[in-house]
Structure formats: structure tokens, C-alpha cells
Structure 1
């Protein structure tokens, strides 16, 4: 499956791949809203999951997000590139983007994925199921042990932050920081290679 995804990604332009990304996120939003319609008592059940608590956001969102980025950057620096190669999908998505585009991709993905995995699945089926499903959905990592372990640890880490805080904004912030910073890293690395 991972090789098939990589082959398809290589046939698409960066713009087409970005469009597919946004299309998949739109489909996840629809699935999330549909599932929450059946599992929640009302759509009002979403409201208590979003709490603006600056100290909580900093300690459980910003700092953990930056910690994950730092660990990933260190691993990328010292491990062979093949361990982090997802078939070139992330590279193709981020390498030619503007900072604003990277911001938007990271924002949309973090909000949408956290609403589904933490907001619906975690609250209704628990920490382990949500965290495992989050990792399994990243199917392109299944044949790459370092990426697979990273996404499993990240998933359980984000789930733990949600367990402790019951605040979806915390996991959204952490997820956003990770995706945004790593997207910037890919883009910056591609610019250095072109120079």
C-alpha cells in the first residue's frame, strides 16, 4: 500500500497532491461530523472540548509539540535519510510551498485529524483505540520502522495530552506545531539544495 501511495504521489504535481490532501481533509471533516451526529447527544457536546486555557496550551501543547520537533530533527540529522523516506510524499507536499501554505496545511490537518481522533474516537472509544487508529491511518509509514515507531509514539503522546487535559485545543496546538515546523524544515532543506 505504501509503495502504491508513493507511486501515485510521484505521478501528481505538487499542486495536485496538495489538492488531494485538502480533499481528504474535507472527507475526514464530513466523516467526523457524521460520526459525532450518531455518537454525541448533540453537536453542543463539541463545545466543552475546546477550552482556551493559555497555561494548559503552553505546557501541554506548545512545549510537547516543540519537544517532538526537536527529537525528530535530531533523528533526521543522525539517521540515514532512508529511515525517514515516506516515498517522497511529505517532501513533494512541502518543498515548494510558501510559509503561508505550510501554515494552512498544518492548521487544516491538525484541526481535522484531532477532531476525529481525539474529539470523537478518543472521547467515545478511549485512549488506546484512538491512538492506535491514528497511527494505523498513516499507512505509508508501515514499512518504515523509524517512521512507524515515531507515529505510534506521537499518537499516544497526543492522546496522553488529551487524557490529562480533556482539551482539544491542546492537541491541535501540539499537532500544528509539529506539522508546521517539520513542513518548514522540509521546505528549507529543499531551498538549500536548490541554492
Structure 2
């Protein structure tokens, strides 16, 4: 028997199963990281970027173009991990599958808040501080990416997932450093999160996806 996707086994929405407060906890957890980032920036000294400079869009074509490229690179990396490595090395604790059970509207809004909050904290605040303290830009970006990876606590015992998060953090950090616009990293982060969640919602690149896909192909084949 093939593996059935979670949203097929449980057609009710997350709100219906777990109650609205659980859904709002997801939103709150996406926001509080950004709040901490704002606090770090507020408590920073005169070398901290001004708010107008921090939130400026910059060159929109560069931000969207480079952000899209970085986001797609991160998506390709995650797909490559799911395709070429044994599932036991990259299967998480079920959190990613949980997100796929949200409605598309909640996915877009939640991932937008997550991208904005995490980029304010990890790139605008933490990375900026590290680049002031560490003379080498490459080392500073690598350390900031490591902080980002370790902050995903559920990945700490999964070396492949931890390395993947570090790679994504490095791409996002470089995009922010290169363009000088936090929106480059926000857009790339949003793009990779939404893309992978929607693919998971369609039954791709989650634990059990190979057997599930094979079962769907078998069912589509004409009988003898």
C-alpha cells in the first residue's frame, strides 16, 4: 500500500483539528523573531543601519532578480537532497508536513511573516553585528549562517538538514550583503518556503513521497 499524504488522511483544516489558538501560535512564533531583531537594532549603537536605509527597497530589479535566483538555488538544493539522499538522512520531525496542511492563503501569509521576521533578526541584526566584529566578510557570513542553522533546533540532530539550513542561510546572507537590501533576503526566503511547502502539499519531497508517487503512477496505468 502506498503512503497517503497527511492532508488526504485528515481532510479537516489545521484550524478545525487543533483550534484557532494553535494556528495563531504559528503566526506569533513567526512574528516574535522579527520583534527580537527590531529590539537588537533599537539597542544598537550609531553604527547600526538607520531605519530608512534598512527598509529601503533599493534597486527593485536587482532585489527581485537576485532574490529569485537565490531562492531557486535554495529550492534546487532541497529538492536535490530529497531526490539523491536516503530519506532517513533528511526526514524531519513532521513539522514540514504539518505546514502543508494549511490552506494556501495561510501558507502565503505565514511564510511572508516568517521570512520578514527571520531576515530582520538573522540578517539585519545578527549578521550586521557579526560583520562588524569579524574582519573577514566570508567568515562573518559563514558564522551568521551557522547561527541561522542552529536556531532551527529540530535540525541539530540531523546533519544533512543542518547543512542544508546553513547553505540557505549563506545564500540569504550573501544576498543581503551584496545588494544592501534586506528585501533581497526576505523575497528569497519567502520564495523557497512557499515553493517547498506547496510542493509538499502536492505530495512531493516529504517523507514517503517516493512510494506515494509510485502508487499514484501505478493507479494511472491502464489495467491488463
- TM-score norm. by structure 1 comes to 0.81
Count of paired positions: 182
CA offset digits 1:23-62 (Å, max 9, x no partner) = 2223223222221111054998122123242321233200
SS at match of 1:189: coil
Structure whose residues are more often helix by fraction = 1
What residue is the counterpart of 1:109 in the other structure? Answer: 114
Change in CA separation of 1:128 and 1:79 when aligned onto 2, cut-off 3 Å = closer
1:75-86 equivalent positions in 2, closer than 5 A = 75-86=81-92
Where does structure 2 lack aligned partners over 5 or more consecutive residues? 1-16, 132-140, 217-224
For residues 20 and 100 of structure 2, the distance between their equivalents in structure 1, rounded to whole angstroms, comes to 11
CA offset digits 1:64-107 (Å, max 9, x no partner) = 10121122123212323222222101111x22222211111210
Where does structure 1 lack aligned partners over 5 or more consecutive residues? 1-11
SS at match of 1:26: helix
What residue is the counterpart of 1:133 in the other structure? Answer: 147
What residue is the counterpart of 1:155 in the other structure? Answer: 169
What residue is the counterpart of 1:97 in the other structure? Answer: 102
For residues 123 and 44 of structure 1, the distance between their equivalents in structure 2, rounded to whole angstroms, comes to 9
What residue is the counterpart of 2:137 in the other structure? Answer: none
What residue is the counterpart of 1:182 in the other structure? Answer: 196
In terms of Rg, which structure is larger?
2
1:17 offset after TM fit, Å? 5.1
Contact 2:35 2:117 in 1 (8 A): no
1:145 offset after TM fit, Å? 1.6
For residues 17 and 69 of structure 1, the distance between their equivalents in structure 2, rounded to whole angstroms, comes to 28
What residue is the counterpart of 1:62 in the other structure? Answer: 68
For residues 14 and 119 of structure 1, the distance between their equivalents in structure 2, rounded to whole angstroms, comes to 34
For residues 168 and 49 of structure 2, the distance between their equivalents in structure 1, rounded to whole angstroms, comes to 29
What residue is the counterpart of 2:28 in the other structure? Answer: 23
- TM-score norm. by structure 2 comes to 0.72
Question: C-alpha root-mean-square deviation of aligned residues, in Å?
Answer: 2.7
CA offset digits 1:90-133 (Å, max 9, x no partner) = 111x2222221111121011000001111111222223443221
